[in-house]
Structure 1
Amino acid sequence: MLNSILAYFDGDVSFVFDTSFFLRFVFSPSPALLKGLGLTVAAAIISQVLGVILGCLLALAGLSRFGLLRGCNQSYLFFFRGTPVLVQLVLIYYGLPYLLGGADLFPPRVFIGPLWVQGALVAGIVTFGLHEAAYMSEIIRAGIQSIDEGQSEAAQALGMTPALAMRRIILPQAARVIVPPLGNQFNQMLKTTSLLSVIAVPELFRVAEEVQSATYKSFEVYLGVSVYYLALTGAWTIVQMLIERSLSGSRRAVTAKTRAA
């Protein structure tokens, strides 16, 4: 196989891996690369929080007694789970302003609180949050349904409203079921943020592309950026394991106290 490839190129294969450049890229990153790394983490966190909040609302709509709410929920899930997130990103960033008559929804700079942020970043976070909500709603709904209905009925018998029973009784217990898949979703979100490069947001992958364009060291750069993503997802996996272990320990402690009583 190798001989046939070399023969095709008349033996002219001049690839040389630049180890020195690769090590500098990974272990001595430029300020722009570090800023892109920070932007990747920040975008992932904000998008995930938005997805969880919207997912809670969608889960409650899916469990509602009102058919209209359930229908709207199913339509939302059908679209956002059935189309690629890249398509959704392009639709929201390019298509939505066009649909609204050329409205400048995502200007180059947007003032949010004390910060000026790139409009494209806002579009990306909104898109990722909406996309994530479609998955989180099913995770949260499954967590809620894993709790015995008798607990909700008992809470309401004690005078709690359904909303209060959900907040005080159901959701805290459902969290043990929700947290593991939530952690997996955030792990995926860290990688999904690389799509921001399509709309010129200077996150980790976009900065890496600019380095590659300037140096023409494609393999070293893309291998190096893979190391960064592996470090991010690996670190989060450790954090997730600690959180799950803590929840399991709390559950065992409560069970032991209940049996002792």
Structure 2
Amino acid sequence: MSLETILSILQNNWPMFLRGAYMTLAIAIISTIIGALIGFFIGIMHTIPVRKRSIKSVVLKVFNFLLTVYVEVFRGTPMIVQAMVVFYGLYAYGIELDRFVAALVVVGLNTGAYMAEIVRGGIVSVDKGQYEAAQAIGMNHFQIMIYVVLPQVARNILPATGNQLVMNIKDTAVLNVISVTELFFQTKSVAGANFKFAESFFIASCIYLIMTFTATRLLRWMERKLDGPNSYKVEQTTTKEN
């Protein structure tokens, strides 16, 4: 493996690497957003207060049970298997999904299952006194969640959400089993054409590293911005004596 060979492959095939990187980033970012929304929805549903022995409590228990099944299934099975089941399983019933849409469904639902637990932990970490204070001024459960709890949860889970984004960037490689033209799929095509597998995948690894490194640094920058300034200036006022 020589530098000359690597540069030659990159020069001749850079459009394919670029398209693959673009597809990988698009799937990872959109799926992380979808997963975060699913996580927030499940977190809210799991915290709805209901009276015992009421129709509402029974309906909510059944719904929460189905959500728990969804979380356990997607957390307990590999994404590569989920991709095969979703894409080819739906095709067997006459539903032909676009491969990009199928990728978003698979990665989004998988991310949502993990984000549900992350959001639940974030909600639990909020002090109960804030719930009581919000209830005291007449807020209902959804108002408390939207205006009091979730803004704090969003800040607290930002590092975990960033980790999930980085994982999604790397895990999109499994989508090549349903022929999604992400970076790994494009790299296989390049390597198959020039028979330079080590050099081609070395380029792909560098691109993955650049994407994950950049995403990590951007998220840390966002964390610092949300934290506010490191120091505050205390202004002192003096009163004049008559």
Q: Could you say which residue in structure 2 is the equivalent of 1:127?
A: 106
1:181-224 C-alpha deviation (Å, 9 max, x unpaired): 00000010101111221111211111110000000001001111
Q: Could you say which residue in structure 1 is the equivalent of 2:35?
A: 51
- Aligned AA for 1:104? I
Q: Distance in 2 between matches of 1:248 and 1:26?
A: 41
Is 2:137 aligned against 1:158? yes
- Aligned AA for 1:160? M
Is 2:219 aligned against 1:225? no
Q: Could you say which residue in structure 1 is the equivalent of 2:66?
A: 72
Q: Could you say which residue in structure 1 is the equivalent of 2:76?
A: 82
Q: Could you say which residue in structure 1 is the equivalent of 2:21?
A: 37
Q: Could you say which residue in structure 1 is the equivalent of 2:55?
A: none
Q: State percent identity of aligned pairs.
A: 36
1:59-94 C-alpha deviation (Å, 9 max, x unpaired): 223334432233222211110100001111100000
Q: CA deviation at 1:133?
A: 0.4
Equivalent residues of 1:62, 1:74 under 8 A apart: no
Aligned to 1:44, what secondary structure does the other structure show?
Answer: helix
Q: Could you say which residue in structure 2 is the equivalent of 1:213?
A: 192
Q: Could you say which residue in structure 2 is the equivalent of 1:63?
A: 47
Q: Distance in 2 between matches of 1:36 and 1:71?
A: 39
Q: CA deviation at 1:120?
A: 1.0
Q: Distance in 2 between matches of 1:140 and 1:27?
A: 44
User: RMSD of the TM alignment (CA)?
Assistant: 2.1
Equivalent residues of 1:139, 1:178 under 8 A apart: yes
Is 2:125 aligned against 1:146? yes
Among 159, 167, 171, the residue aligned to 1:192: 171
The structure 1 segments of at least 4 consecutive aligned residues displaced by more than 6 Å after TM superposition are: none
- Aligned AA for 1:85? M
- Aligned AA for 2:172? T
Aligned to 1:76, what secondary structure does the other structure show?
Answer: helix
Q: Could you say which residue in structure 1 is the equivalent of 2:95?
A: 104
Among 116, 140, 153, the residue aligned to 1:174: 153
- Aligned AA for 2:39? G
- Aligned AA for 2:100? L
Structure of higher RCO (CA pairs closer than 8 Å, 6+ residues apart): 2
Equivalent residues of 1:190, 1:233 under 8 A apart: yes
Give unpaired runs (5+ residues) of structure 2: 50-59, 237-242
CA change 1:93–1:177 in 2 (3 A) is same
What TM-score, normalized by structure 2, do the two folds share? 0.86
1:36-71 C-alpha deviation (Å, 9 max, x unpaired): 211111111111111111111122233344322332
CA change 1:120–1:80 in 2 (3 A) is same
- Aligned AA for 1:77? V
Equivalent residues of 1:97, 1:105 under 8 A apart: yes
Q: Distance in 2 between matches of 1:44 and 1:163?
A: 29
Equivalent residues of 1:183, 1:240 under 8 A apart: yes
- Aligned AA for 1:131? N
What TM-score, normalized by structure 1, do the two folds share? 0.80
